[in-house]
């Protein structure tokens, strides 16, 4: 790792903005000064400039009971009104909100006026199901316009959505439905992925009825969009087709104001223990920072830009940079249902050409996989409309950064490498196009209004040229307000480590270079980052040991050229199982088992069957050593192992 860091820190290329870009840029250098002079005043200005408040707030931040923040506390707003109605009222109803492209090539253009009507109808339907302020609604949908409309309809009612990624299994869905106590599930029969229909409704049926999970107590209705045309089972009285009720519902619906701290959504993310954490976000502060970052970081000109963020709405990036940020800003955006390489490997570039995408936001894992298939594919398309490129989810290596700029950005588009988390709600660290001279591989500087530092274990600043832990030193508007149902875990996970200083601990290692620019170095806890998705080692391990063959399992994230990290599992098989079964093919079986239990994204790249696992005397598995094996390195210091011979045995078994 350290030689890689030194190599990274040698990076001296810099790309200052052109005069032309700087002259017309949304962000101006004085943003930094304004924010530094009066942080609270700065955020108050942003909230007033970017949003409509039914009741203006008089107080920006209440930090009297840390770590529980309240922003714009006595103000009232309606999040959906801010994303929809006000644009229509301002005369922009005919502007296209969504340029939707289905994987098979079908398309829909939906204006702000049309989307507003649709959301009002869905809100009326949800109200008829008894959904009101504070109720939870689970959303399990493909990337179709109904996904965005559903989120906004829930928000319009002051209710709380919990979007579950469509790639997650019935079991993951069930645990999220139960944890949140969802009253309604919105799903589809299926959606298109990799050229065929991937069913969703069966997973909902299984989640709600499977005996293994016990009786489901809270879900009263399942609203089902017809998309895949695949056959589905039907539970009378519970299941309702979207096309039967939404078009028939009234398009009159008044957006009631709700307090700024009214919960907006819960989004589950992996933690260091097996149980996913329901990260809770609220309304006013979240929407302020989503809109502010979307406008300034992407240099958004809503009248002329065509914006495209490739993230699924099941991830935080889809929440903040598909649904809330862009729509609050009145942007026109592309929404694409399918996979990047279906039906041909140039599909994304074809979409950029077709719609004239000018701002493009994606993840390093995608960029690296396109690098592998070669520049000839994107070069077949006209990408000249692109003027800003964004990256998110994991560190982008300088080589991928340069390829992105040259091949996708015509050698001139500024790249914004944006660091943030589900917990931060919106972008925290990023260059500003037109202001910052960019540097390949570095996320660079905290945004105006955001305070970040790199500290050592005792919370002392490390200073330029040194590495340590990334902390956020001041509260920010879109910060998480807690973990659903578990305030203690919220304090423990994020605030205990630097309790004395009152810093938020992000769980990421980072370094400051000589210029004071930030270089993110990955997670320091047992959370892996696979293609920009956070997976917990503990969650995959517990899935592996739930298989009848497995006695013990250890999972590590090994670096992988394409996906950043890949899941590698080391598994001990039960003697009793081996006595009765042929172990041939077991590794393959275990791989698919994890895929079924958690979702395809968690399926291990490799499963190694071993005789023992490296443990300390206190019984802690030393994953660091397994990572050495998985990455084909010489095994590091084994002196704290209870049995020092065990690593040579494992290495031999893996070969």
Q: How far is the CB of 624 from ligand 6R9 (least distance, A)?
A: 18
Binder among 139, 506, 512, 607 for ligand 6R9 (CB under 6 A): 506
Phi-psi region of 342 (alpha: psi -120 to 50; beta: other; left: phi over 0): beta
3-state secondary structure of 413: coil
Size of the site for ligand 6R9 (CB under 6 A): 23
The count of other CB atoms within 10 Å of the CB of residue 217 is 8
Q: How far is the CB of 314 from ligand 6R9 (least distance, A)?
A: 10
Q: How far is the CB of 527 from ligand 6R9 (least distance, A)?
A: 8
Is the C-alpha dihedral spanning 328, 333, 335, 340 positive or negative?
A: negative
Comparison of 85 and 417: residue with beta carbon closer to ligand 6R9: 417
395 lies in the site for ligand 6R9, by CB under 6 A: yes
Binder among 293, 296, 418, 597 for ligand 6R9 (CB under 6 A): 418
Comparison of 9 and 204: residue with beta carbon closer to ligand 6R9: 9
Which contiguous run of DSSP H or E holds residue 608?
strand 606-610
Q: How far is the CB of 423 from ligand 6R9 (least distance, A)?
A: 7
| Residue located via tokens 């301002």 | 90
392 lies in the site for ligand 6R9, by CB under 6 A: yes
168 lies in the site for ligand 6R9, by CB under 6 A: no
User: Interface with ligand 6R9 by CB under 6 A: which range of 313-321, 493-501, 613-621, 641-649?
Assistant: 313-321
Q: What is the DSSP string of 43-95?
A: HHHHHHHHS--SB--S-SEEEEETTEEEESTT-EE-HHHHHTHHHIIIIITTS
316 lies in the site for ligand 6R9, by CB under 6 A: yes
Compute φ and ψ for 232, nearest 5 degrees.
Answer: -135, 155
67 lies in the site for ligand 6R9, by CB under 6 A: no
**What's the gap between Cα 90 and its chain centre?**
31
Binders of ligand 6R9 in range 433-462 (CB under 6 A): 443
- How far is it, in rounded angstroms, from Cα 581 to Cα 292? 59
User: Interface with ligand 6R9 by CB under 6 A: which range of 225-233, 314-322, 370-378, 621-629?
Assistant: 314-322
264 lies in the site for ligand 6R9, by CB under 6 A: no
534 lies in the site for ligand 6R9, by CB under 6 A: yes
265 lies in the site for ligand 6R9, by CB under 6 A: no
Asked whether residue 531 is marked as a ligand-binding residue, the answer is yes
394 lies in the site for ligand 6R9, by CB under 6 A: yes
526 lies in the site for ligand 6R9, by CB under 6 A: no
Q: How far is the CB of 506 from ligand 6R9 (least distance, A)?
A: 6
Asked whether 420 and 427 are in contact (CB, 8 A), the reply is yes
Q: What is the DSSP string of 286-321?
A: HHHHHHHHHHHHTT--TTT-EEEE---TTSHHHIII
Which tokens go with 230?
């695949």
564 lies in the site for ligand 6R9, by CB under 6 A: no
Residues contacting 176, CB < 8 A, separation 6+: 138, 162, 164, 168, 268, 276, 278
User: Interface with ligand 6R9 by CB under 6 A: which range of 85-93, 121-129, 528-536, 644-652?
Assistant: 528-536
Asked whether residue 380 is marked as a ligand-binding residue, the answer is no
Asked whether residue 354 is marked as a ligand-binding residue, the answer is no
289 lies in the site for ligand 6R9, by CB under 6 A: no
Asked whether residue 487 is marked as a ligand-binding residue, the answer is no
The count of other CB atoms within 10 Å of the CB of residue 220 is 13
Asked whether residue 495 is marked as a ligand-binding residue, the answer is no
480 lies in the site for ligand 6R9, by CB under 6 A: no
Which contiguous run of DSSP H or E holds residue 284?
helix 284-297
422 lies in the site for ligand 6R9, by CB under 6 A: yes
Binder among 44, 393, 475, 614 for ligand 6R9 (CB under 6 A): 393
| Residue located via tokens 């690296």 | 368
User: Interface with ligand 6R9 by CB under 6 A: which range of 100-108, 123-131, 252-260, 389-397?
Assistant: 389-397
| Residue located via tokens 């910052």 | 436
If you count DSSP H runs as helices and E runs as strands, how many of each does the chain have, helices first?
23, 30
- How far is it, in rounded angstroms, from Cα 28 to Cα 238? 53
- Cα–Cα distances in angstroms (integers) from residue 57 to residues 53, 80, 234, 651, in the given order: 8, 18, 47, 62
Question: Which residues are near ligand 6R9 by CB under 6 A?
Answer: 269, 315-317, 392-395, 417-422, 443, 506-508, 520, 523, 529, 532, 534
Question: Which residues belong to the annotated binding site for CoA?
Answer: 193-196, 317, 531
Question: Which residues belong to the annotated binding site?
Answer: 193-196, 317, 393-395, 417-422, 508, 523, 531, 534, 545, 547
Question: Which residues belong to the annotated binding site for ATP?
Answer: 393-395, 417-422, 508, 523, 534
């Amino acid at each position: 790792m350290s030689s890689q860091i030194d190599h990274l820190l040698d990076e001296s290329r810099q790309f200052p903005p052109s005069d032309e870009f700087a002259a017309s840029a949304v962000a101006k250098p004085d943003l930094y000064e304004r924010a530094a002079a009066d942080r609270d005043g700065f955020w108050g200005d942003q909230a007033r400039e970017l949003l409509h408040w039914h009741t203006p707030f008089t107080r920006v931040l209440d930090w009297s009971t840390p770590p529980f923040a309240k922003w714009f506390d006595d103000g009232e707003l309606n999040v959906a009104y801010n994303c929809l109605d006000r644009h229509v009222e301002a005369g922009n109803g005919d502007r296209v909100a969504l340029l939707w492209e289905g994987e098979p090539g079908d398309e829909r253009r939906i204006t702000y006026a049309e989307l507003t009507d649709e959301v009002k109808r869905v809100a009326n339907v949800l109200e008829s199901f008894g959904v009101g302020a504070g109720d939870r609604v689970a959303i399990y949908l493909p990337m179709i316009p109904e996904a965005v409309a559903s989120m906004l309809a829930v928000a319009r009612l002051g209710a709380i959505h919990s979007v579950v990624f469509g790639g997650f299994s019935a079991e993951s869905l069930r645990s999220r439905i139960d944890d949140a106590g969802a009253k309604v599930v919105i799903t589809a029969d299926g959606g298109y992925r990799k050229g065929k229909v991937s069913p969703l409704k069966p997973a909902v049926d299984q989640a709600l009825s499977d005996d293994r999970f016990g009786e489901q107590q809270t879900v009263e209705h399942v609203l089902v969009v017809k998309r895949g045309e695949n056959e589905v089972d039907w539970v009378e009285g519970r299941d309702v087709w979207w096309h039967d009720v939404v078009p028939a519902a009234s398009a009159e619906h008044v957006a009631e104001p709700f307090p700024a701290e009214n919960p907006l959504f819960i989004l589950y993310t992996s933690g260091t223990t097996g149980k996913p954490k329901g990260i809770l976000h609220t309304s006013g502060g979240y929407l302020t920072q989503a809109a502010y970052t979307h406008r300034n970081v992407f240099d958004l000109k809503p009248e002329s830009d065509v914006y495209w963020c490739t993230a699924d709405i099941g991830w935080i990036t889809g929440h903040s940079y598909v649904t809330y940020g862009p729509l609050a800003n009145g942007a026109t955006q592309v929404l694409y249902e399918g996979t990047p390489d279906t039906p041909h490997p140039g599909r994304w570039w074809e979409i950029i050409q077709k719609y004239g995408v000018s701002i493009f936001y994606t993840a390093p894992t995608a960029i690296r996989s396109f690098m592998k298939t070669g520049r000839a594919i994107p070069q077949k398309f006209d990408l000249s409309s692109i003027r800003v490129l964004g990256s998110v989810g994991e560190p982008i290596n300088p080589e991928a950064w340069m390829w992105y700029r040259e091949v996708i950005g015509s050698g001139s588009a500024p790249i914004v490498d944006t660091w943030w988390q589900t917990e931060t709600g919106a972008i925290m660290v990023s260059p500003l196009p037109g202001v910052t001279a960019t540097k390949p591989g570095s996320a660079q500087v905290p945004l105006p209004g955001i305070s970040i530092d790199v500290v050592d274990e005792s919370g002392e600043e490390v200073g330029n040229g040194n590495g340590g832990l990334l902390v956020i030193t001041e509260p920010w508007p879109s910060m998480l307000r807690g973990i659903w149902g578990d305030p203690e875990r919220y304090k423990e996970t994020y605030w205990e480590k630097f309790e004395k200083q009152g810093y938020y601990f992000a769980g990421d290692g980072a370094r400051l270079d000589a210029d004071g620019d930030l270089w993110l170095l990955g997670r320091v806890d047992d959370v892996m980052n696979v293609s920009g998705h956070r997976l917990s080692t503990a969650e995959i391990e517990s899935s592996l040991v739930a298989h009848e063959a497995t006695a013990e399992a250890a999972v590590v994230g090994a670096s992988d050229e394409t996906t950043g990290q890949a899941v590698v599992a080391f598994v001990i098989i039960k003697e009793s199982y081996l006595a009765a079964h042929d172990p041939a093919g077991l590794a393959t079986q275990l791989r698919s088992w994890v895929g079924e239990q958690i979702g395809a994204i968690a399926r291990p790249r490799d499963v190694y069957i071993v005789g023992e696992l490296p443990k300390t005397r206190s019984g802690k598995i030393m994953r660091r050593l397994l990572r050495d094996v998985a990455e084909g390195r010489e095994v590091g210091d084994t002196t704290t192992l209870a049995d020092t011979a065990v690593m040579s045995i494992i290495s031999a078994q893996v070969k």
